[in-house]
Structure 1
Amino acid sequence: MRITIRTPVAATRRTGNRATATRWAGFLAELGHAVAVNPGPEVPPPDLMIALHAWRSAAHAARFRAEHPDRPLVVALTGTDLYHYLAAEPGPTLRSLDLADRLIGLHDRVADALPERHRDKLRIVHQSARGRAERAAPLEGAFETLVVGHLRPEKDPFRAALAARRLPPASRIRIVHLGAAHAPDWQAAARAEMAENPRYAWLGDLPPARVRRLMARARLMVLSSHMEGGANVISEALVSGLPVIASRIAGSVGLLGEAYPGFYPVSDTAALAALLLRAEAEPAFLADLARHGAARAPLFRPERERAALGRLVAELV
C-alpha cells in the first residue's frame, strides 16, 4: 500500500512532528508499505494518508478527502489540537475530525478532550523510544537535571530555572536545557537567564544521539509544559531509566499514570522547587520515581508502536 504522511513542519526542522513522521514512516515501511513524508506533486496519490496535526494539516486533509473520497484518511492529534485549537479556533480542527476515518491519540487520556461523536474513531499509539542499554555515571558534584524541549510558550521552558533560583545554597542541582529557541526573543531570554542564574545552562538544539547520552547521565528530567499531546521525551526518559518530574497536565498523566508521584501543579514554581529538592535530598523518593517509570516503560517499546500502526492500517484496508 502507498501511504503518505503529511506534517506541518519543514523536513529540515528537528521537531516532534517531524520525528514522529520519520519514525512512523520507518515502521510502516518495515510492515511492507511504500511510505512518503510530505511528497511533491510528482508522487502518485497514496492509498492512505496520515495527517499529523488536525489544525495545521487541515487543508491537506480536506484536499485528500475531496480528491479521494473512497480512500482512508487518518488524523494524528497533537497537544495544541486537543488543548488549544478545539477551544480557540475549532472550525478547522473539527473539520479534520469529521473527515477522518480514524484518529490517532498519543496518550491514554485523549478521549477526554474529544467531542463524544469522534471517540469511536480514536486509536491510541504510544510513541516509542530507543534508550541506552545502561545508565552512565552521573556528574560528580552536581545533581544534573535536564529540561528537554524547544523554547516556546506551550513548554513553559524556564519554569525549572525559576524553581532552581529558590533552592538553598547547599543544593547541587543544575538545570541543563536542551532545545531550540523558536524566536530571537526566546534565545535572548535563555542567554539572560544563564547570565543571572548560575544553576541554569542552555545548550540549544542537540542531535538525538547526544540527547540520549545526556539522558543516560542525568539524575532527573523536568517536563514543565502547559500542554502536550503525549511528549515523546517522556518515553525517551523512561526507557533510559531517567526519573521524571512533570506538570500535571492530561498529556503527561496519560503517559505516566495517575498514581505517578512526580507531578506538580502547572506553573507552580514553589511546588516544582520543593519536588526538585526532595529528589535531591531523598534517595528513596528518586528511586520511587524511577520504579514507577520502569513500570510504564514497556508501553514505549518500538515493537508495540509498530504493531499499533499495523493494526490501524489493517482496519482500514
Structure 2
Amino acid sequence: MLKVALITPAGRGSRAGNRATATRWARLLRELGCSVRLAAPDEDFRQPHLANPPPDLVIALHAWRSHAAIRASRQVFPECPLVVVLTGTDVYRFQHSHPMTFLDSLEYATALVGLHAAIADDIPPRFRSRLHTVLQSALPLPPGAPGPGRRYFEILVAGHLREEKDSLRAALAVRDLPSDSRLRVVQMGRAYSVEWAHAAREEMACNSRYRWYGDLPHWRVRQWMARARLMVISSRMEGGANVVSEACVAGLPVIASDIPGNRGLLGDDYPGYFPVADTEALRRCLLRVERDPAFVAALREQVLARAPSFRPEAERDALARVMAACGLNCQARIAQVRMT
C-alpha cells in the first residue's frame, strides 16, 4: 500500500477550499489503494507517524503557504516524489509578491498540479512540462432537492468574504434596480476580517435585495444551490474554484468574472462572463438573466455540458495520472474500482 503525506495549510474543521480539497483527495487516494496522512505545513517530518515508514509520495497544497514543508520534505525524504498544487493566490498573487519563495517550491517539485485548464499560460514556461491538470469534482444534488422559489429570483454567492473574491460585487449590482425586478442576492461564507463582516452588515442595512448568512455548513450551501436560479462568481483571482464544479454538476447557471481561473473551468466560449469588478456590466447580466429565459437556458446547457469533467471518478483518474508521472502505478487499482 502506497503511503501519501498530504500537506494542507487549512487546519482540521476549516471550511477553506484547501481543506475541502485535501479531504476529498484523501478519500480518492484511498480508493486508489493509498494510505493517506494529512499534515500541516509546520509539522516535523521526522515524527514517527510521518517518517516510519517514510512516505512514497508527498503532496503539498499551496506552493507559498506550504513552502517550509516542501523544503523540509525534500531534506528529510530526498528520493520521495513531491507534488506541489498551485492555488489561485499562488499563481496570481504570491508569484509576483514573493517570487523567490514561489519559484523555490516549484523547483523542488517532481510534478505540479493546476486546478484549471488555463493555468499553464500563467506560470514560467520552464515548469510547464511538469504541470498536470486536476479538475475538482462535485456530487450531484440529492433527489428531491427543493426547486427555485417563485417569489424571488434568487442569486447565490458562495465563498468566504475576502478581497480575492470581490465578495460584495453581486450585492452592489442589485442596488437601485427597477421596482418590478425580483432579483435577490443570497450570500454565504465566513468573513475573513472584522472589516468584511462590517461591510456585509452595512450592505444588508441599506440594500433590501441582499442577505448574508455567514459561514454555513456545506449541506446548507447545497440546499441553496437547489433553490437558487443563478450563481455569481465575482472573484478577482481563482485557482479553479470548486464551487464552479458544484454549480455545473447541479445544472446551476453561472455568471462569472472574466479571469483565467473561471475560463479554465467553463471554457472560452461560455457566454456568461463579465469584466472583473465591473458593477454595471454585472447588473446588465443579472437583469438579462431575469428577463431572458433563452439566455438562462443557454447558460444551463453549457454548465451541464461541462459537468462530466467534474465527476469524482474523473478527478480520481487525474490524480492517478499525476502519480504515474511520479513513477507510482495505480492502474490496477483503478481497473478494480471501476469493476465494483
* 1:228 corresponds to: 238
Q: In 1, distance between residues paired with 2:140 and 2:181?
A: 29
SS at match of 1:274: helix
* 1:192 corresponds to: 202
* 2:126 corresponds to: 117
How far is the alpha carbon of 1:271 from its aligned partner? 0.2
Q: In 1, distance between residues paired with 2:138 and 2:121?
A: 25
TM-score (norm 2): 0.91
Judge conservation of contact 1:176–1:201 (CA < 8 Å) in 2: yes
Which moved further from structure 2: 130-139 or 57-66? 130-139
* 2:286 corresponds to: 276
Q: Out of 210, 217, 232, which is 2:227 matched to?
A: 217
Q: In 1, distance between residues paired with 2:179 and 2:168?
A: 20
How far is the alpha carbon of 1:306 from its aligned partner? 0.5
One-letter amino acid matched to 2:109: A
Judge conservation of contact 1:131–1:212 (CA < 8 Å) in 2: no
* 1:93 corresponds to: 102
Query: Do the aligned partners of residues 247 and 166 (structure 1) sit closer, same or farther apart at CA in structure 2, a change above 3 Å counting?
Result: farther
How far is the alpha carbon of 1:283 from its aligned partner? 0.3
TM-score (norm 1): 0.98
Q: In 1, distance between residues paired with 2:146 and 2:10?
A: 34
Q: Output aligned runs, 1:1-317, within 5 Å.
A: 1-38=2-39, 41-45=47-51, 46-133=55-142, 136-316=146-326, 317=328
Q: In 1, distance between residues paired with 2:269 and 2:50?
A: 48
Aligned length in residues: 317
Deviations, residues 240-260 of structure 1 (Å, cap 9, x unaligned):
010000000000000000000
Q: In 1, distance between residues paired with 2:27 and 2:105?
A: 25
SS at match of 2:201: helix
Deviations, residues 130-163 of structure 1 (Å, cap 9, x unaligned):
1214563211210000001100100000000000
One-letter amino acid matched to 1:43: H
SS at match of 2:306: helix
* 2:336 corresponds to: none
SS at match of 2:208: coil
Q: In 2, distance between residues paired with 1:166 and 1:283?
A: 22
Q: Unaligned 5+ residue runs, structure 2? A: 329-340
Q: In 2, distance between residues paired with 1:156 and 1:42?
A: 43
Judge conservation of contact 1:163–1:270 (CA < 8 Å) in 2: yes
Q: In 2, distance between residues paired with 1:175 and 1:212?
A: 16
Q: In 2, distance between residues paired with 1:213 and 1:141?
A: 17
How far is the alpha carbon of 1:42 from its aligned partner? 3.6
Q: In 1, distance between residues paired with 2:79 and 2:5?
A: 15
Identity of paired residues, percent? Answer: 54
Q: In 2, distance between residues paired with 1:52 and 1:246?
A: 25
Judge conservation of contact 2:5–2:50 (CA < 8 Å) in 1: no
SS at match of 2:321: helix
Q: Unaligned 5+ residue runs, structure 1? A: none
Judge conservation of contact 1:177–1:204 (CA < 8 Å) in 2: yes
SS at match of 1:19: helix
One-letter amino acid matched to 1:268: D
Judge conservation of contact 1:143–1:173 (CA < 8 Å) in 2: yes
Deviations, residues 75-115 of structure 1 (Å, cap 9, x unaligned):
00000111111111111110000000000001110100110
Deviations, residues 61-83 of structure 1 (Å, cap 9, x unaligned):
00101111111000000001111
Which moved further from structure 2: 19-28 or 134-143? 134-143
Q: In 2, distance between residues paired with 1:100 and 1:315?
A: 12
